[in-house]
Amino acid sequence: MCLLTSPTSKAACEKAGITEKTATRVKHDKEFQKIYAELRIRIQTQVSEKATSLMSEALDSLADIMRDKKCTDNARVKAATTILQIGMKKITESEETEMKKSIDVQISSYLRLAELCGTGDDNKRKEYMAAAEALLKKAEAESGASKNGCEQ
């Protein structure tokens, strides 16, 4: 647990009362890796759920600041900008998710067709595999562009 809650491995060792050599040995243990991964996922899920549950309240607070004439213009503009950024990020994430689902379906179809052609027409199998690879490259390129803030 100390590894999950400490900023560094050294700090985790100090908190747990073990040496870094012992920690290194334990980190290589398969059972420890399994438990650690499960705990990490559980904690990340809890944090994500907590953040999600507070999101509406946080947006309401920002909206209150944005509308409050007693707040400085700077604070009101910053609140409005933050609301817009959150909204645009959610729209972009939604579009990316839909695009990825569509590409996944297409790739699965091409791979299944290639598999079905495995016992027959080798040229068709190669054609379907090439189409699936092209879709993967397109998805990777679009994913990289969206991470850089670019659109194609």
Mean pLDDT score, 15-33: 85
pLDDT at 62: 92
pLDDT at 150 over 60: no
Judge contact between 128 and 120, C-beta under 8 A: no
pLDDT at 151 over 50: no
Q: Which amino acid is at 103?
A: I
Q: How far apart are CA 6 and CA 14, in angstroms?
A: 10
Does the pLDDT of residue 47 top 50, yes or no? yes
Question: For the segment 55-96, what is each residue's pLDDT rounded down to a tens digit?
Answer: 889 999 999 999 999 999 999 999 999 988 988 888 888 888
What is the rounded average pLDDT of the residues 97-102?
83
* Chain-centre distance for alpha carbon 36: 20
In the chain, domain spans? 1-54, 92-152
More reliable by pLDDT, 106 or 10: 10
Q: Which range among 9-18, 53-62, 132-141 shows the weakest confidence by mean pLDDT?
A: 132-141
